[in-house]
Amino acid sequence: MDDIPLDGKRVLVRADFNVSSGPDGKIHDDEDYRLEAAIETIQELRRRRCKVIILPRRGRPEEDPEGADITPVWHRLQDLLREDIQLIHHLYGEPVEAAVQGMEQGSMLMLSNVREDPREKKENKKFAEQLAAVADVYVSESFSEVHRARTSLSLVPTLLPSCAGRRTVLEVEMLSRLSANAKRPYVAIVSGSKVTTKVALLQRLLTQVDTLCLGGKIANVFLAASGHWKDGNDQAEIEAAKQIMQEAGPKLLLPIDVIIGNDDGTDVREVSIQEIPEGTKAIWDIGHKSTQGIIKVCETAQTIMWNGPVGRFEVDAYGLATKAISQALAELSSYRLVGGGDTVNALEKYRLTKKYDHVSVGGGAMVAFLEGKVMPGLEPLYTDG
């Protein structure tokens, strides 16, 4: 935002507001982290007397229309900014042009959810031209999506003078600290639903970290690969885990005890990995000894990266390890970076987001960045300098 003229311009701000609502349909202060992340950019543009045109994304309209409704976002963002935002249920065309024409300098307009147009999913030149028509400048504040090629992320910024928002720049700077001369010891904690989706990340981390701690469903696959659990995993996942175990050697820290029980959090038991009962269909969390093992390793670290809750924290009985680790890490003086949608949700639940050096708004984007992949939504924003 320091590299291109912005003052007084019509600025299209592409924002990721993929946040959930509470039972009352409203977005509360423990659910609005991604909204807060965009505020610095929006406020700066307002101070610079720009017409701020917010192009939001939320949910998947084709699957869950209620979860993709932009109205709760609109209400909550007005609360956070303490200013009125005009809402128009269009993405382009005459209604948008008229609304932008009538805006005062420094005011804000929110468009419809960009995902409502199916042309967003794949780069569509006509749709990109329609979105770009009402703006002089494009600002990206959607770091969580920049690993995907989408019309509004990777094509629109090629049609206008474009730059990264303040939060997007911060994300790149903070994540770059992990791959460029991270202070040692460097410890990573990784969870997730499938090993095969994170093979590249795990392999790359093994070349960078001193200790790689695993939790969640990923750890469960490794327990199956090592012969401690015989149910609930497919062979492709197990083979991927075996390959990583061979490469990792002593760097890999796996659970030594786990939590089992019913889906609803009843009949909860903690057992060692050698004593997992025959026929156990699900492992919901890591046990107390495993939790303390991760905390102990982190206490001596200078750099910590955490991606993914280590258990099913949404059920309190299976969230004890995630809560204990998040509280312990919050008190450390090392550089601590946390990311992933569920991890952020956990920190919001425990009200710890402000205790960490950086809480990334990216999940898949954070993983892709750490893997060293090309980021289609970032590429158009880089300057020659």
DSSP letter assigned to residue 374: -
Return d(Cα 365, Cα 378) in angstroms, integer: 11
Report pLDDT for 385: 41
List, as one string, the DSSP characters of 75-133.
HHHHHHHTS--EE-S-SSSHHHHHHHHTPPTT-EEE---GGGSGGGSS--HHHHHHHHT
Q: 339-358 burial, b if ≥16 CB within 10 A, otherwise e?
A: bbbbbbbbbbbbebbebbeb
φ, ψ (nearest 5 deg) of residue 262: -85, 160
Report pLDDT for 313: 93
Q: Residue 46: how many CB atoms within 10 A of its CB? A: 18
Bridge-based pairing of strands 10-16 and 51-57 is: parallel
Classify 172-371 by CATH class: alpha beta
Residues 6 or more apart whose Cβ sits within 8 Å of residue 354: none
Of 205, 237, 213, which Cα lies nearest the Cα of 224? Answer: 237
Q: Are 312 and 318 in contact (CB under 8 A)?
A: yes
Q: 272-296 burial, b if ≥16 CB within 10 A, otherwise e?
A: ebeebeeebeebbbbbeebbebbbe
Q: 146-174 burial, b if ≥16 CB within 10 A, otherwise e?
A: bbbbbbbbbbbbebbbbbbbbbbbbbbeb
Positions of the chain with pLDDT lower than 70, given as ranges:
30, 180, 232-233, 383-385
Report pLDDT for 232: 62
Residues 6 or more apart whose Cβ sits within 8 Å of residue 126: 119
Q: Give the fold, CATH level 3, of 10-164.
A: Rossmann fold (3.40.50)
**In the chain, domain spans:** 10-164, 172-371
The kind and range of the H/E element at 46 are helix 33-47
Alpha carbon of residue 303 to chain centroid: 19
Same fold, 10-164 and 172-371: yes
Of 355, 370, 360, which Cα lies nearest the Cα of 182? Answer: 370
Q: 105-140 burial, b if ≥16 CB within 10 A, otherwise e?
A: eebbbbbbbbbbbebbeebbeebbebbbebbbbbbb
Return d(Cα 220, Cα 283) in angstroms, integer: 7
